[in-house]
């Protein structure tokens, strides 16, 4: 169960591209879980739309398969499934032609919230936005949801923003970065701004450095063509890691309100210094452990796309001047770990002499797996033998802490879809934020393209290339282990 049911208004949600991978893996299972948790109003409707000329029953079979594949068995019962499927409808629709739009128009109700989820490639955003408009489907309550990648550079992101702005006001555009829907990411704001404990120390005076890691064990399997045109910087750093950086570094907004939060995030992105080429390490995984190498998976024998990146960046503002942020993300690494580690400075003087603590306090915010927080503190090692100091974790797993049976932490998409219906844009990227993130990322990519740099090879199942370790070693620091 989820912690509390906050009802939302009745809605018609149209998923355009409803038979695609994202819809089947993420959107439809998330909707089912919301239905299961009693969070979907009884008469809410989900209308699938795609090019396939199938009927409602055939689409319901697609939905049923998706749920059986992607929802844990203990949440699936025949009654629940039947109830959910009865809310599902379908209409064939061609994004690039006028076929099907009148039919969709006829299916929509006038008196409920209308949301259109663009679960399609960005090249279709413009034709869909235009047709929604031309066919009169955009009522007063209409809103659209668009997925990443939101462009592949500043120019294309600007074009997309301009195209969408032609049909929709900014307050109706929900740009998804699913990392913002993760429970612990929201918790970062709660921890920072709901407690007195951390905020006074949350600055360059007390924080030595910050590490943000998103490590994955998977490769690029099945996504070769998309991924090979993107690489880790475009696929992960420009969006997910950037959002984690923003929430870690931003000033407290005056109020928890969509624009107040996004204004503060934007200031962080704009305060980022350009990254020097020597402070970026790019890697590409070799074959190993029975899995193919990156180039074979990408089906591009001469690919120079990175499946790993580590970089060091600085923020030029009062709070963070002098505190480096180290970011790294990669595929086929030792473990699946996403975390933010805030490493505090050592005490200015150790009264315990040379046996004093060598590492500062570390606050680790774990996004996955096992969402929670861990604060490393120095204590006396219990027992006789004088004053020996050790570092121990004060570990708080949210699942354990929140009740004897734990809590069912909702998937990011559950949270985000409900926020779309509620009309709450706090956890969605604003157009200027996306553009600012590309404005910072573009020169990084342009610099290595101009030099013709190739990524260094790394073995699967490890922590990425050794050069990434060096990035910190030469500053007298070290990365936290990936999965111990
Ligand atoms: C996606 C990226 O946005 O996020 C993928 O395109 C990546 O390459 C995924 O695997 C990671 O998401 P999560 O929620 O599994 O950490």
pLDDT digits (tens, 9 = 90+) for 184-196: 888 899 999 999 9
Is residue 149 classed exposed, middle or buried when 0-12, 13-18 and 19+ CB atoms within 10 A define those classes?
middle
- Judgement on whether residues 38 and 187 belong to the same structural domain of the protein: no
Residues 82 and 215 in one domain: no
Q: What is the percentage of the chain residues whose pLDDT exceeds 90?
A: 77
Please state the pTM of the whole predicted model.
0.94
Cis peptide before 149 (omega within 30 of 0): yes
| Domain contains 87 | yes
* 422 is a domain residue: no
Check whether residue 103 and residue 185 sit in a common domain.
no
**Do 366 and 273 share a structural domain?**
yes
Encoding tokens for residue 188? Answer: 């970062």
* Mutation to probe ligand 1, out of 152, 178, 429, 437 (largest number of atoms < 8 A from CB): 178
Q: Could you read off the pLDDT of 382-404 as tens digits, one per residue?
A: 888 778 888 888 877 766 666 55
Other Cβ atoms within 10 Å of 385 Cβ, number: 6
Neighbours of 295 (CB within 10 A): 21
The response to whether residue 177 sits with its C-beta less than 6 Å from ligand 1 reads no
**334 domain-assigned:** yes
Other Cβ atoms less than 10 A from the Cβ of 371: the count is 19
Q: Do 190 and 339 belong together in one domain?
A: yes
The number of folded domains in the chain is: 2
Domain end marker among 126, 147, 168: 147
Radius of gyration of the chain (CA): 24
Index of the ligand 1 atom closest to the CA of residue 235 = 6
Query: Which three-class secondary structure state does DSSP give residue 347?
Result: coil
CA–CA gap between residue 274 and residue 439 (Å, rounded): 10
Ranges of H-type helices in 135-235: 154-167, 183-194, 224-232
Asked if the structure places residue 23 within a domain, the reply is: yes
Mutate to test the pocket of ligand 1, among 235, 409, 411 (most ligand atoms within 8 A of CB): 235
- Domain-embedded: residue 164: no
pLDDT by residue for the chain (484 residues), tens digit each? 445 667 789 999 999 999 999 999 999 999 999 999 999 998 999 999 999 999 999 999 999 999 999 999 988 999 999 999 999 999 999 988 888 999 999 999 999 999 999 999 888 998 999 999 889 898 788 999 999 889 999 999 999 999 999 889 999 999 999 999 998 888 899 999 999 999 999 999 999 999 999 999 999 977 878 899 999 999 999 999 999 999 999 999 999 999 999 999 999 999 999 999 999 999 999 999 899 999 999 999 999 999 999 999 999 999 999 999 999 999 999 999 999 999 999 888 888 877 655 667 999 999 988 888 899 888 888 888 778 888 888 877 766 666 555 566 778 999 999 999 999 999 999 999 999 999 999 999 999 999 999 999 999 999 999 999 999 999 999 999 998 6
- From residue 52, alpha-carbon distances to 16, 49, 116, 126, 390 in Å are 11, 8, 18, 21, 62
Quick one: 199 and 258 in the same domain? yes
Give yes or no: residues 190 and 122 share one domain.
Answer: no
> How are beta strands 45-50 and 389-397 bridged, if at all?
unpaired
CATH assignment at residue 133: 3.40.50.720
Neighbouring residues of 75: CB distance < 8 A, sequence distance ≥ 6: 32, 33, 36
User: Structural domain of residue 131, as residue ranges?
Assistant: 11-147
Cβ 216 under 6 angstroms from ligand 1: yes
- Phi and psi dihedrals of 373, rounded to 5? -135, 155
What CATH number is given to the structural domain containing 234? 3.30.360.10
Report angle CA 58, 61, 67 to the nearest 5 degrees. 150
């Amino acid at each position: 169960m989820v912690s509390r049911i906050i009802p939302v208004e009745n809605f018609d949600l149209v998923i355009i591209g409803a038979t695609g991978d994202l819809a089947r893996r993420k959107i439809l299972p998330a909707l089912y879980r919301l239905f299961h948790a009693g969070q979907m109003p009884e008469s809410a409707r989900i209308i699938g739309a795609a090019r396939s000329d199938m009927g409602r029953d055939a689409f319901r079979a697609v939905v049923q398969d998706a749920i059986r594949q992607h929802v844990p068995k203990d949440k699936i019962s025949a009654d629940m499934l039947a109830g959910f499927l009865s809310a599902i409808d379908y209409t064939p629709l061609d994004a690039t032609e006028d076929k099907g739009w009148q039919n969709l128009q006829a299916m929509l109700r006038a008196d409920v919230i209308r949301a259109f989820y663009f679960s399609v490639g960005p090249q279709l955003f413009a034709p869909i936005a235009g047709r929604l408009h031309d066919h009169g489907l955009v009522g007063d309550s209409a809103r659209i949801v668009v997925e990443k990648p939101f462009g592949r550079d500043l120019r294309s992101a600007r074009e997309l923003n301009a195209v969408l702005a032609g049909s929709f006001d900014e307050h109706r555009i929900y740009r998804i970065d699913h990392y913002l829907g993760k429970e612990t990411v929201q918790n970062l704001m709660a921890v920072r701004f709901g407690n007195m404990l951390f905020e006074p120390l949350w600055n360059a005076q007390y924080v030595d450095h910050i590490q943000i890691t998103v490590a994955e064990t998977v490769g690029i399997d099945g996504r070769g063509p998309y991924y090979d045109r993107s690489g880790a910087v475009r696929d992960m750093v420009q969006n997910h890691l950037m959002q984690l950086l923003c929430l870690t570094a931003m000033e407290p907004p005056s109020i928890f309100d969509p624009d107040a939060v996004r204004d503060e995030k934007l200031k962080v992105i704009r305060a980022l210094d350009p990254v020097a080429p020597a402070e970026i390490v790019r890697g590409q995984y070799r074959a190993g452990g029975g899995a193919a190498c990156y180039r074979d998976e990408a089906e591009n024998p001469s690919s120079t796309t990175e499946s790993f990146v580590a970089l060091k960046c600085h923020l030029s503002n009062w709070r963070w001047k002098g505190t480096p942020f180290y970011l790294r993300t990669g595929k086929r690494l030792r473990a699946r770990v996403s975390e933010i580690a805030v490493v505090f400075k050592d005490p200015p003087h150790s009264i315990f002499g040379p046996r004093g603590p060598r590492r500062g306090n570390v606050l680790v915010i774990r996004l996955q797996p096992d969402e929670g927080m861990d604060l490393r503190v120095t204590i006396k090692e219990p027992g006789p033998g004088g004053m020996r100091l050790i570092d121990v974790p004060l570990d708080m797993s949210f699942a354990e802490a929140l009740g004897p049976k734990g809590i069912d932490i909702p998937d990011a998409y559950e949270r985000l879809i409900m926020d779309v219906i509620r009309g709450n844009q706090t956890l969605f990227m604003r157009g200027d934020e996306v553009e600012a993130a590309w404005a910072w990322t573009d020169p990084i990519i342009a610099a290595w393209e101009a030099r013709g740099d190739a990524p260094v090879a790394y073995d699967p199942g490890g922590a990425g290339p050794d050069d990434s370790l060096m990035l910190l070693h030469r500053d007298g620091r070290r990365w936290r282990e990936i999965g111990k």
